[in-house]
Amino acid sequence: MIGKKNNPKAVVLLSGGLDSATTAAIAMEQGFGVHGLTIDYGQRHAIETDAARRLGKALNLVAHIFQSVDLRAFGASALTDSIPVPKSTRGDAIQAGIPVTYVPARNTIFLSLALGYAEAIGATDIFIGVNAVDYSGYPDCRPAFIEAFERLANLATRDGVEGDGESLRIHAPLIHRTKAQIIREGVRLGVDFSLTHSCYDPTPEGLACGLCDSCWLRKRGFAEASVVDPIPYSPETSG
Amino acid sequence: MIGKKNNPKAVVLLSGGLDSATTAAIAMEQGFGVHGLTIDYGQRHAIETDAARRLGKALNLVAHIFQSVDLRAFGASALTDSIPVPKSTRGDAIQAGIPVTYVPARNTIFLSLALGYAEAIGATDIFIGVNAVDYSGYPDCRPAFIEAFERLANLATRDGVEGDGESLRIHAPLIHRTKAQIIREGVRLGVDFSLTHSCYDPTPEGLACGLCDSCWLRKRGFAEASVVDPIPYSPETSG
* pLDDT band, residue A84 (cuts 50/70/90): confident
Nearest residue to A110 (alpha-carbon basis) of A8, A214, A11, A213 = A11
Chain A interface mutation, best of B161, B164, B168, B170, highest count of A Cβ atoms under 10 Å: B161
- Across the interface, of A69, A119, A152, the residue whose CB is closest to B104 is A119
Residue of B nearest to A160 (CA): B139
- A148–B156 C-beta distance less than 8 A: yes
Mean pLDDT (whole number) for B191-219: 92
Instruction: Quote the CA–CA distance of B184 and B195 in Å, as a whole number.
Output: 16
pTM value > 0.90: yes
The runs of H, that is alpha helices, within chain B are 18-29, 47-59, 106-121, 143-156, 158-162, 179-188, 213-225
State the smallest CA–CA distance between residue B154 and chain A in angstroms. Answer: 9
pLDDT of residue B239: 44
Nearest residue to B25 (alpha-carbon basis) of B189, B180, B179, B167 = B189
DSSP letters of B167-194?
--EEE-TTTT--HHHHHHHHHHTT--GG
| Least confident stretch, B4-18, B103-117, B125-139 | B125-139
- B107–A156 C-beta distance less than 8 A: yes
* pLDDT band, residue B134 (cuts 50/70/90): low
pLDDT of residue A166: 82
* pLDDT band, residue A77 (cuts 50/70/90): confident
State the smallest CA–CA distance between residue B9 and chain A in angstroms. Answer: 14
- Across the interface, of B109, B120, B145, the residue whose CB is closest to A155 is B145
- Across the interface, of A67, A108, A144, the residue whose CB is closest to B73 is A67
State the smallest CA–CA distance between residue A45 and chain B in angstroms. Answer: 19
- Interface pTM (ipTM) of the complex? 0.90
pLDDT of residue A161: 77
Chain B interface mutation, best of A66, A113, A115, A136, highest count of B Cβ atoms under 10 Å: A113
Of A239 and B31, the structure prediction assigns the larger pLDDT to B31
Nearest residue to B70 (alpha-carbon basis) of A5, A119, A113 = A113
- Across the interface, of A74, A97, A105, the residue whose CB is closest to B156 is A105
CB pairs under 8 A between A and B: 159
| Listed ranges A207-211, B40-44, B160-164; the one with the highest mean pLDDT | A207-211
Predicted confidence (pLDDT) at residue A239 exceeds the cutoff of 50: no
Chain A interface mutation, best of B74, B121, B151, highest count of A Cβ atoms under 10 Å: B74
For residue B216, give the 3-state DSSP assignment: helix
Give residue A24's region: left, alpha or beta (phi > 0; psi -120 to 50).
alpha
Predicted confidence (pLDDT) at residue A2 exceeds the cutoff of 60: no
| Listed ranges A96-100, B103-107, B137-141; the one with the highest mean pLDDT | B103-107
Chain A interface mutation, best of B79, B108, B130, B164, highest count of A Cβ atoms under 10 Å: B108
State the smallest CA–CA distance between residue B197 and chain A in angstroms. Answer: 24
* pLDDT band, residue A92 (cuts 50/70/90): low
Q: Are residues A96 and A135 in contact, defined by beta-carbon separation less than 8 angstroms?
A: no
Q: Are residues A11 and A125 in contact, defined by beta-carbon separation less than 8 angstroms?
A: yes
- A144–B148 C-beta distance less than 8 A: no
| Least confident stretch, A201-215, A224-238, B3-17, B75-89 | B75-89
Instruction: Quote the CA–CA distance of A210 and A221 in Å, as a whole number.
Output: 13
Nearest residue to A85 (alpha-carbon basis) of A221, A197, A181, A216 = A216
State the smallest CA–CA distance between residue B140 and chain A in angstroms. Answer: 5
Instruction: Quote the CA–CA distance of B180 and B174 in Å, as a whole number.
Output: 11
DSSP letters of chain A?
-TTGGGSPEEEEE--SSHHHHHHHHHHHHTT-EEEEEEEE---S-THHHHHHHHHHHHHT-SEEEEEE--GGGT--STTTSSPPPPB-SSS----SS--TTPPTTHHHHHHHHHHHHHHHHT--EEE----SSTTTT-GGGSHHHHHHHHHHHHHHSHHHHHS-S---EEE-TTTT--HHHHHHHHHHTT--GGG----SS--TT--B-S-BHHHHHHHHHHHHHT----S-B-TTT--
Percent of chain B's residues with pLDDT above 90: 62
DSSP letter assigned to residue B34: E
Instruction: Quote the CA–CA distance of B204 and A88 in Å, as a whole number.
Output: 58
Fold of A4-225: Rossmann fold (3.40.50)
For residue B11, give the 3-state DSSP assignment: strand
| Least confident stretch, A3-12, A21-30, A155-164, B82-91 | B82-91
Instruction: Enumerate the residues of chain A whose CB falls inside 8 A of the CB of residue B102.
Output: 158
pLDDT of residue B160: 74
Cα-Cα-Cα-Cα dihedral sign, residues A211, A239, A49, B149: negative
Q: Does domain B4-178 have CATH number 3.30.460.10?
A: no
- Across the interface, of B98, B161, B162, the residue whose CB is closest to A161 is B98
3-state helix, strand, coil in chain B (%, to 5): 40, 10, 50
- B113–A104 C-beta distance less than 8 A: no
Nearest residue to A151 (alpha-carbon basis) of B110, B146, B176 = B146
pLDDT of residue A134: 65
| Least confident stretch, A34-38, A76-80, A159-163 | A159-163
Of B237 and B238, the structure prediction assigns the larger pLDDT to B237
A115-162: pLDDT as tens digits = 999 999 999 999 999 988 766 578 888 999 999 999 999 999 887 777
Residue A33 corresponds to which amino acid?
Answer: G
- Across the interface, of A108, A156, A161, the residue whose CB is closest to B115 is A108
State the smallest CA–CA distance between residue A150 and chain B in angstroms. Answer: 10
- Measured between its terminal Cα atoms, the distance across chain A in Å is 41
Instruction: Enumerate the residues of chain B whose CB falls inside 8 A of the CB of residue A153.
Output: 108
Of B155 and B84, the structure prediction assigns the larger pLDDT to B155
Percent of chain A's residues with pLDDT above 70: 92
Chain B interface mutation, best of A161, A162, A168, highest count of B Cβ atoms under 10 Å: A161
pLDDT of residue A3: 47
A178-204: pLDDT as tens digits = 999 999 999 999 999 999 999 988 988
Q: Are residues A195 and A158 in contact, defined by beta-carbon separation less than 8 angstroms?
A: no
| Least confident stretch, A49-58, A105-114, A205-214, B40-49 | B40-49
Of A229 and B203, the structure prediction assigns the larger pLDDT to A229
- B156–A108 C-beta distance less than 8 A: yes
Predicted confidence (pLDDT) at residue B136 exceeds the cutoff of 70: no
